[in-house]
Structures are given as structure tokens and as C-alpha cells.
């Protein structure tokens, strides 16, 4: 332990000397490289140096401060991360400042300091089983500091994450049905963004614990039978959409295969039969079908 602390101290001294005359942009670039290489002590040192010694008005100061908290998260020093994220919520940080997480074409266009801080604070609260606090943070990044992006895929990915966060909060608070109701509208794959983790949470952690296998089988059978179309006027034109009802809620269906393995025979199907095919291929249906089948197999082995 002593040797590790000694090495870290020597490394920090070396970085301090080497970075003394470097411009902020170069320090920030070096800090990001340390972060990517999981050299978190070094990254934290440089982010802290930028924040303490930078000039007012330089956007890298705000980014460095947020990155300090994110680095603490990676180091599992959650209380230190929490203190910075909370400070960001109280401070004057520009949500729409250019340059967010990631790089290249998939980079976030805006910094979203407070949206991201609420999300990380929510994660910390959930991990610490402080579900009321987690719910408050979820409501804040959903309503008070909403996500901003120009890409429909990323907007859908955020909607999936928001539903997942609400669901985890309500599950922790013992309100499982409310968690199911919030997540169900996001349970069908739209082709815009992966929702697999959300569907697995819904089926395996919520529905499986709230309904027995025979109830799940009945809901699936009734949902298939209830598939029907509706003509809805949107943007001045009429469109046909398909819906079904399951677990007391109406959900929209999409004719998209999550595994992208198309059966050419399906194109011969029409109307409701076409959507029944894709509903049965959905991860949501398959997960629940497996849960129901396991229960039926167990029942069949019971002696009467």
C-alpha cells in the first residue's frame, strides 16, 4: 500500500511539472487519454488542475469539473462524485453548451451538465437503495432538465432509459404494477434503439414476480387475439397503426424483427396476421412465453 501511494505521488509530481506550461486544451486532451487508459488518478489530477487554474468563460472548466465527478464514479468514490454532481445542479452551467459525451458522428451535441448529473445521482441513489431520492432525480432529468438531441435514435434511447429508471425506482418502492405500467409502452422494439435491457427487466424482474405463469399465458393469448388496427390522423394525414392490449394497457405494435432474420413467407401475410407474426417474434413475447412455459412444465409434474 505504501509503495502504491509513493508511486502515485511521484507520478502526480511528474505530471504537475510536465503540465505546468501547457495550455488548457492540451491538458484536457491528456486527461482524456489518461481516462481512456483507466489511469484515473492521473486524469483526476489534470481535470482538477484545469478547474482550479483555468480562466473564467473557458468551457473546458465546466467540462473538467463534470469529468472530475465522472472519474470519481469510475474510481467508486461515490460520495466525492455525488458532491460535485450536486454542486453542478446548484451552479450556473449551460445545458446547451456545445460538446457532450462521446466522439465522432455519435457524439452528444450538447453538454447537458444537469441532465447528466441527475442521471448519475439517480444511479448512485439506486445503488444505495435510496429509492425516493432516485425517483426525485429521475423526475428532474425527465422534466426539469430534459434530454436534448437532434437524432431520433438517441431520443428513443433516452426515452427507454427514462422508463427504465422510473421502473427501478417504483420497484424499489414496492410499486411493481406502476413500474410495469410505465415500462410497457417501451416494450416493443421500434428499430430506432435497442431496448433489450428494458424488456428483460420488465419481464424477468417485474412481470414474472407480479403474475403467475397461467396469468402470463392468458395475457399473451388474449393479446394475440386482440391485435387490431386503428386509423389515426397525424400531421394532417391519416395513418393505420396496430395495437393490442396486455396487462391492462394498450400498446402499439411494430412490424420489425429484432433478430433481423426475415421469413419471406411473412410478406404474404396481411393486416392483423402480419402484426401477429412480428409480435410473436418480439423479445417481449418470447421472454414471457418462456416464463409461462416453465410454469406449465412445473405444473405438469405435480402429482394430483
The CA R_g of the chain, rounded to the nearest whole Å, is 25
CB atoms within 10 A of CB 192: 17
Q: In this model, does residue 1 exceed pLDDT 70?
A: no
Closest Cα to residue 246, out of 188, 176, 170?
188
**261: exposed, middle or buried (Cβ count in 10 Å: 0-12, 13-18, 19+):** exposed
Residue with cell string 426539469: 144
Closest Cα to residue 120, out of 109, 110, 133, 108?
133
The tens digit of pLDDT for each residue in 34-73 reads 999 999 999 999 999 999 887 666 879 999 999 999 999 9
The tens digit of pLDDT for each residue in 133-154 reads 999 999 999 999 999 999 999 9
- What is the rounded average pLDDT of the residues 70-77? 97
Prediction pTM value: 0.86
Q: In this model, does residue 17 exceed pLDDT 50?
A: no
Stretch among 125-139, 160-174, 258-272 having the lowest mean pLDDT: 258-272
Residues near 190 by Cβ (< 8 Å), separated by ≥ 6? 156, 254, 256
* d(C-alpha 69, C-alpha 75), whole Å: 10
The counts of H helices and E strands in the chain are 14, 3
Q: In this model, does residue 109 exceed pLDDT 70?
A: yes
Closest Cα to residue 125, out of 104, 141, 112?
141
The tens digit of pLDDT for each residue in 180-215 reads 999 999 999 998 999 999 999 999 999 999 999 999
The number of C-alpha atoms within 13 Å of 154 and in the hemisphere containing its C-beta is 14
Answer whether 156's CB lies under 8 Å from 193's CB: yes
Q: In this model, does residue 299 exceed pLDDT 50?
A: no
Q: In this model, does residue 10 exceed pLDDT 60?
A: no
What percent of the chain has a predicted confidence (pLDDT) above 90? Answer: 74
Kindly provide the b/e burial profile for residues 135-158, where b requires at least 16 CB atoms within 10 angstroms of the residue's own CB: bebbbbbbeebebbbeeeebebbb
Q: In which band, very low, low, confident or very high, does the pLDDT at 256 lie, cut at 50, 70 and 90?
A: confident
Amino acid at each position: 500500500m505504501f509503495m502504491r501511494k509513493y508511486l502515485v505521488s511521484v507520478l502526480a509530481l511528474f505530471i504537475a511539472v510536465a503540465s505546468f506550461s501547457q495550455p488548457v486544451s492540451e491538458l484536457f486532451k491528456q486527461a482524456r487519454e489518461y481516462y481512456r487508459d483507466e489511469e484515473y488518478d492521473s486524469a483526476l489530477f489534470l481535470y482538477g488542475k484545469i478547474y482550479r487554474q483555468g480562466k473564467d468563460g473557458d468551457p473546458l472548466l465546466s467540462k473538467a469539473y463534470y469529468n472530475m465527478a465522472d472519474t470519481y464514479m469510475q474510481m467508486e468514490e461515490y460520495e466525492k462524485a455525488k458532491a460535485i454532481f450536486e454542486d453542478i445542479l446548484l451552479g450556473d452551467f449551460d445545458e446547451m453548451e456545445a460538446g457532450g459525451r462521446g466522439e465522432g458522428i455519435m457524439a452528444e451535441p450538447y453538454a447537458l451538465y444537469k441532465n447528466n448529473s441527475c442521471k448519475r445521482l439517480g444511479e448512485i441513489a439506486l445503488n444505495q437503495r435510496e429509492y425516493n431520492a432516485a425517483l426525485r432525480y429521475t423526475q428532474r432529468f425527465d422534466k426539469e432538465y430534459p434530454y436534448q438531441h437532434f437524432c431520433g435514435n438517441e431520443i428513443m434511447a433516452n426515452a427507454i432509459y427514462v422508463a427504465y429508471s422510473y421502473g427501478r425506482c417504483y420497484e424499489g418502492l414496492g410499486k411493481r404494477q406502476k413500474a410495469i405500467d410505465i415500462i410497457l409502452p417501451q416494450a416493443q422494439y421500434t428499430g430506432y434503439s435497442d431496448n433489450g435491457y428494458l424488456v428483460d427487466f420488465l419481464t424477468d424482474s417485474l412481470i414474472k414476480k407480479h403474475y403467475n405463469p397461467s396469468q402470463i399465458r392468458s395475457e399473451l393469448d388474449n393479446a394475440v387475439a386482440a391485435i387490431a388496427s386503428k386509423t389515426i390522423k397525424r400531421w394532417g394525414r391519416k395513418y393505420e397503426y396496430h395495437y393490442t392490449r396486455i396487462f391492462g394497457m394498450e400498446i402499439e405494435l411494430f412490424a420489425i424483427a429484432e433478430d433481423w432474420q426475415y421469413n419471406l413467407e411473412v410478406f404474404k401475410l396481411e393486416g392483423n396476421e402480419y402484426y401477429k407474426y412480428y409480435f410473436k417474434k418480439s423479445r417481449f413475447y418470447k421472454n414471457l412465453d418462456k416464463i409461462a412455459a416453465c410454469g406449465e412444465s412445473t405444473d405438469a409434474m405435480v402429482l394430483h
